[in-house]
Structure 1
Amino acid sequence: MSKVLFVYAKGGPPLGYALSRVAARSAVHLLALSSLPPTVAASADRICASVLCPAESERRDLVSLIVSRAQAVGADAVVTFSEYAVVAVAEACEKLGLAGAGGNCALARDKRMMRRTWQEQGISQPRFRPVATAQDLHEAAAALRFPLLLKAAWSAGSTAHRTLRSAEDVPAAWERAREVMAESAQLGYAELHVADAGADFLVEEIVPGTATGWFDQEGWGDYVSVEGVVVNGDFRPVCLSGRMPTVEPFTERAGITPAALPDDAQRRIVTLAREAVDALGLQNCGTHTEIKLGADGQMWVIETAARFGGAMTVPQIEEVFGLDLIGMLTDHLLGRPVSWPAEVRTPQEAHGAAGSLVVLAVDGAGEAWPDQRVWDFPTVRDAVPLSAGSHLSVVAENSLPDGAPVPVYDPAAGANTMAALCLLSATAPETVIHDFRNLVDALPRVLPTAGPTTEVRA
């Protein structure tokens, strides 16, 4: 039987979901670089042929650790679905002679190198400057046009994003962004392979995005993502995911599959995504490419990744298009034939729609809730009406337990302040938007008020 080494770290699709898809194709040996979620820890020994949680000292040379573990279990493939481990796994696969993202993987991880590569290729993107010091940021702010967005080069989940509207914002933005990267590292949301990656930043012009002219329905955000895969260097787009508008500065609130776009718009977006992915020279990996939409058909590539979209993006694709991307990629890495979609899937080919909502303590206009509330999914499920045919569930692995206080939203911390992740199945993408807007409006009313004696219920 084939053997796969699964390198787990925080981020990516829920571990329980990903493990089950890989285990259906092969014996799985789990190398856990982050603590296993409680919802998975109890069953990991049953699902996996082995589970190894290395000591901190063993992780200092992460590539060597992955190589030695792969050799010890006789792995035929090595996979990861975490942003924070993709570079290390790609380098390990190169050393092992196994199929992987390839030697250019870092170009899809370090936003500075990514943007430089696209700049050299003339690919449409916001103007930017890499920054490593407060002085660099002052100089970049003088060269670029406000408003600007400061972001960490190795971050994910919109953490450490700070908006600069004038030169006066530079000192505070620089200090807070660095603080958030340090806080994220303590939470386990940090690059695992590159030393001092939290000190690397870039700043970019905020381009004027709009959903008007792209979507027929209100409530959509002004950017989309192209989900796909690279197979032996060939980019294969799978589908487009839409978004609700982000929360200040650019924290994602919800992802919807599929994006309700006309065919011509979808084709144009995929063409730009193909240019962006091809420029990075990836070999064998999932891809997730974010594209900002502007007036009169303008588009800008924001970033791409050498892994599938995080949160519930992959489960949503399986639900509405019947494509098990994790299983398919596992088969491909094991050298088995896989029938990848010949063309990007359209909304007309979808069976219903699905969306995932990040629960943040802000209303539909992005304003903070007037008081602190307690997360309680049964209350939400019973109190918030949904459209006919819609079903709401909670992703326990990515959510606080019922009874936990909802964190106060911190714009700089982004998704680090989420309380829960909810999944909605519906008849159409427009229905997902409608139900999520109602849900966001209802949460600060229906959730219990937090008190001084609030306790977390197991």
Structure 2
Amino acid sequence: MSKVLLVHAKGGPPLGHVLSRTAARAQVHLLALSALPPSVINTARSLCASITVPSEAQRCDLVSLIVSEAEAVGADAVLTFSEYAVVAVAEACRALGLAGAGSAAALARDKRLMRRTWQEHGLPQPQFRPVATEAELHTAARGLPGPLLLKAAWSAGSTAHQIIRSPREVSAAWARSRAVMAESAQLGYAELHVAEAEADFVVEQIVTGTAAHWFEEPGWGDYVSVEGVVADGTFHPVCLSGRMPTVEPFTERAGITPALLPQDAQDRIVDLARRAVDALGLRDCGTHTEIKLGADGSMWLIETAARFGGAMTVPQIEEVFGLDLVGMLVDHLLGHPVTWPGSALTPEQARGAAGSLVVLAVDGHGDAWQDRRIWDFPAVAARVPLSRDSELSVVKESSLSDGSLVPVYDPAAGANTMAALCLLSATDPRTVLHDFQALVHALPRVLPAARNQEVVA
């Protein structure tokens, strides 16, 4: 039986989903760079031939660690679904002579290199400047059209984003973004291979998006993502995911599969995603490309990742289109033939729709809840009215336990302040969007209020 070394770190699809699909294809050896979610520990023990938790000393040279572990177990393939381990795994695969994202993996991770590459290829994107010091940020802010968005070059999940509307806000934005990156590193949400990656930033123009020129009904966000895969250097689009509007500054609230777009619009979006992925030169990996939608058909590239979309994107695709992307990628990396979709799948080919909602302590307008609440999924399931045939569940490994205090939303920390991740299955994308709007509106009313001592704690 073939052997796979799965490198686990925070982020990406739920580990339980990944493990079950990988174990159906090969013997799994797990290298745990992050603690396993409690709800998955028993599953991991039953599905994995071995589980290795490296020491801090071993983590200092992550590529060597992965290579030695792969050689020790005789791995025929090495993969990860975490943004934070993508580069290290790609370099380890190169050293081992195994299929992987390739030498260009860093271009799909470091936002500075990514934007520079797309600039060289003439692809549409916001104006930008890489910055490493506060002085460089002041200079860039004077040279770029505002308002601006400061991003950590190696971040994920909208972490450390800061909007700069005037030169007076530069110093505070710089200090806050650096502080958040340091906090995120302590939580395990940080690049695992590049030393001092939390010091690298990019600042870019905030372009004006609009969903009204693309979607027939209101409520959709002004950006989409193209889910796909690169196999032997060839990009294969799988489908498009739609979004609800982000929470300021640009924290994602919900992803919906499929995106409810006309065919001509989908074709244009996929073409841009293809050019973006091709420019990066990836070899064998999942891809997730986010694209901002503007007026009169204009588009801008936000970013591309050399891995599948996180949260519940992969399980949603499996539910709606019947494609086990994890298993298909494992088969490909093992050298087995895989039939990828000939073109991006459409809403007409979908079996219903699915979406995942990040629970944040903000209402539908992005305003903070007026008081603190306790996370209680049974109360949500019992009291929030959903459409007929809609089914709501909670992703336990990505959620606080019932009875936990819902964190106060921190715009700079992004998804780090989420309370839970909910999954909804419905008859069509419109229904998912409608039910999520109802859920966001109802949460601060149906969740139990925190008592004074709980807030103090």
Once the two structures are superposed, the pairs formed by residues 6-405 of structure 1 within 5 Å of their partners are: 6-405=6-405
State the alpha-carbon separation in 2 of the partners of residues 454 and 368 from structure 1: 18
> Matched residue of 1:267: which SS?
helix
- Aligned residue type for 2:60: R
CA positional deviation for 1:44: 1.5
State the alpha-carbon separation in 1 of the partners of residues 454 and 16 from structure 2: 29
Could you tell me which runs of 5 or more consecutive residues in structure 1 were left unpaired when the two chains were aligned.
Answer: none
> Matched residue of 1:290: which SS?
strand
CA positional deviation for 1:43: 2.5
Q: Give per-residue Cα distances to partners, 1:392-437, cap 9 Å, x unaligned.
A: 0000000000000000000000000000000000000000000000
CA positional deviation for 1:453: 3.6
> Matched residue of 1:204: which SS?
strand
> Matched residue of 1:104: which SS?
helix
Q: Give per-residue Cα distances to partners, 1:358-412, cap 9 Å, x unaligned.
A: 0000000000000000000000000001001100000000000000000000000
Length-normalised TM-score, structure 1: 0.99
Q: Give per-residue Cα distances to partners, 1:177-200, cap 9 Å, x unaligned.
A: 000000000000000000000000
Q: Is the 8 A contact 1:404 1:454 kept in 2?
A: no
State the alpha-carbon separation in 2 of the partners of residues 452 and 8 from structure 1: 38
State the alpha-carbon separation in 1 of the partners of residues 7 and 250 from structure 2: 29
State the alpha-carbon separation in 2 of the partners of residues 136 and 235 from structure 1: 36
- Aligned residue type for 1:105: A
State the alpha-carbon separation in 2 of the partners of residues 314 and 53 from structure 1: 26
State the alpha-carbon separation in 1 of the partners of residues 445 and 116 from structure 2: 46
State the alpha-carbon separation in 1 of the partners of residues 198 and 408 from structure 2: 24
- Aligned residue type for 1:68: S
- Aligned residue type for 1:16: G
Once the two structures are superposed, the pairs formed by residues 387-426 of structure 1 within 5 Å of their partners are: 387-426=387-426
State the alpha-carbon separation in 1 of the partners of residues 357 and 187 from structure 2: 21
User: Which contiguous aligned blocks of 4+ residues in structure 1 show a shift greater than 2 angstroms?
Assistant: 452-455
> Matched residue of 2:444: which SS?
helix
Once the two structures are superposed, the pairs formed by residues 435-446 of structure 1 within 5 Å of their partners are: 435-446=435-446
State the alpha-carbon separation in 2 of the partners of residues 182 and 42 from structure 1: 32
CA positional deviation for 1:46: 1.1
CA positional deviation for 1:452: 3.0
State the alpha-carbon separation in 1 of the partners of residues 358 and 44 from structure 2: 26
Q: Give per-residue Cα distances to partners, 1:115-167, cap 9 Å, x unaligned.
A: 00000000000000000000010000000011000000000000000000000
> Matched residue of 1:372: which SS?
coil
- Aligned residue type for 1:197: A
Q: Is the 8 A contact 1:209 1:292 kept in 2?
A: yes
CA positional deviation for 1:330: 0.1
Could you tell me which runs of 5 or more consecutive residues in structure 2 were left unpaired when the two chains were aligned.
Answer: none
Q: Give per-residue Cα distances to partners, 1:295-314, cap 9 Å, x unaligned.
A: 00000001000000000000
State the alpha-carbon separation in 2 of the partners of residues 227 and 255 from structure 1: 12
Q: Is the 8 A contact 1:403 1:454 kept in 2?
A: no
CA positional deviation for 1:451: 1.3
CA positional deviation for 1:347: 0.6
CA positional deviation for 1:267: 0.1
Q: Is the 8 A contact 1:377 1:394 kept in 2?
A: yes
CA positional deviation for 1:173: 0.3
Length-normalised TM-score, structure 2: 0.99
CA positional deviation for 1:213: 1.5
Q: Percent identity?
A: 75
State the alpha-carbon separation in 2 of the partners of residues 106 and 360 from structure 1: 31
Q: Give per-residue Cα distances to partners, 1:62-99, cap 9 Å, x unaligned.
A: 00000000000000000100000000000000000000
